[in-house]
Amino acid sequence: MLFQKNWLSFNLFIVFTLSSNCLVLAQDTINKLKISPLNDRCYVFTTWQKFNGQDFPANGMYVVASSGVIMIDTPWDTTQVAPLLDSIFARHHKKVVLCIATHYHDDRTGGFQILDRYKIKTWSSALTNFYCDKNKTTTASAIFLNDTIFNIDDVLLETYYPGPGHTSDNIVIWLPKQKILYGGCLIKSTDAQSLGNLTDADIYSWSTSLNNVRKKYPKPDFIIPGHQNWHSTFSIQHTLKLLEVHNNR
């Protein structure tokens, strides 16, 4: 277990080279797995599942460090966990060393059991762990109790719990060197026409939680939502508008 602002240090030193202009793509005609670069360290991966009868994309992310790769969330389509690991190794000649989940739904933690088979350490907040256990799904192999900084070689990732929103346990992850805010399902893409799955949402706290994120990380270069396109940095504002419309009905 980790306590507030604890530091994790992985003292492994492997030299790597990485081309900044290469797109890794593993995608067939029915949309299985897509990997897109944000920069020479950070990549968004997308898989698809059926939602309201249509194929719907879910985003995760990975970051390349000297000693290995850090994954944020697992693929929604768990048949693509192994292909993702293979694609990462083929491109970067590195293995995934850990995965951090941003909430307990299966589009974030569904691949935990498979990652366990690969001996990849999985992490979640204590609250996410509680809900995974309550719903009888695979829990992370390690938990953090409070907002935590992961320090893996030359990569920093900061977890932040802003309050309830899409779920009671949703967190965001900030990469300070790259100025990337990984919002997960707390933040809706500007492509979103609705708030999506509200089964476990706290509609009335969501706006406050989003404003907490805006105050803490005011000028990200990228904001990665849990679903759909991430090419706009106005996704928090868009989510607030969706909430306003929903709450005024």
Give the pLDDT mean for 127-145: 97
Q: Is position 248 within any domain?
A: no
Query: What is the structure's pLDDT at 12?
Result: 30
How many residues are there in the chain?
Answer: 249
209 domain-assigned: no
Residue 152 domain-assigned (yes or no) = yes
**214 versus 24: which is more confidently predicted?**
214
Mean pLDDT of 217-227: 97
Q: What is the pLDDT of residues 33-58, one digit of tens each?
A: 999 999 999 999 999 998 888 899 99
Could you tell me the CA-to-CA distances from 15 to 64, 68, 94, 208 in Å, in that order? Answer: 12, 10, 10, 43
Active-site residue identified among 59, 166, 169, 227: 166
- Active site annotation includes 107: yes
User: Could you give the percent of the chain with pLDDT greater than 70?
Assistant: 88
Query: Is 105 a catalytic site residue?
Result: yes
The reply to whether 103 belongs to the active site is yes
The mean pLDDT value of the chain amounts to 89
CA distance 155 to 151: 6
**Does pLDDT of 21 surpass 60?**
no
Indicate whether 88 belongs to any domain.
Answer: yes
Distance CA 93, CA 98 (A): 16
**Within a domain: 237:** no
**Host H or E run for residue 155:** strand 155-160
149-152 sheet: strands from edge to edge: 7-9, 149-152, 155-160, 172-175, 180-184, 222-225
Q: Tell me, yes or no, whether 229 lies in a domain.
A: no
Single out the catalytic residue among 105, 169, 170, 227. Answer: 105
* CA 214 centroid distance within chain: 18
Q: How many domains does one find in the chain?
A: 1
Q: Which of 103, 129, 153, 227 is catalytic?
A: 103
Assess whether pLDDT exceeds 50 at residue 195: yes
Cβ-based neighbours of 102, under 8 Å, separated by 6 or more: 72, 73, 108, 128, 170, 171, 172, 173, 182, 184, 185, 186, 226
Answer yes or no: are the C-beta atoms of 227 and 59 closer than 8 Å. Answer: yes
Q: Containing domain of residue 140, as a range?
A: 7-184
Mean pLDDT in residue range 148-171: 97
**Would you state the pLDDT for residue 31?**
65
Q: Is the pLDDT of residue 161 over 70?
A: yes
Q: What percent of the chain has pLDDT over 90?
A: 84
Average pLDDT over residues 179-195: 97
Question: Is 20's pLDDT higher than 50?
Answer: no
In the block, residue with structure tokens 């879910």: 58
Catalytic residue from among 197, 211, 212, 229: 197
pLDDT score recorded for residue 249: 81
CATH code of the domain containing 135: 3.60.15.10
- The answer to whether 52 touches 29, Cβ cutoff 8 Å, is no
Helix (H, G, I), strand (E, B) or coil at 93: coil
Q: How confident is the model at residue 18 (pLDDT cuts 50, 70, 90)?
A: very low
> Which residues is 136 bridged to in the sheet?
none
Catalytic member of 77, 107, 147, 153: 107
CA separation for the pair 26, 3 (Å, rounded): 38
Whole-prediction pTM: 0.88
Determine the pLDDT at residue 53.
82
Residue 55 within any structural domain of the chain = yes
Q: Give the pLDDT score at 3.
A: 37
Q: Is 92 one of the catalytic residues?
A: no
What is the rounded CA–CA span in Å between residue 40 and residue 38? 7
pLDDT tens-digit series, residues 69-85: 999 999 999 999 999 99
Helix axes 203-216, 235-248, angle to 10 degrees: 160
Q: Is 188 helix (H, G, I), strand (E, B) or coil?
A: coil
Give a yes or no: residue 203 inside a domain: no
* Known catalytic membership, residue 93: no
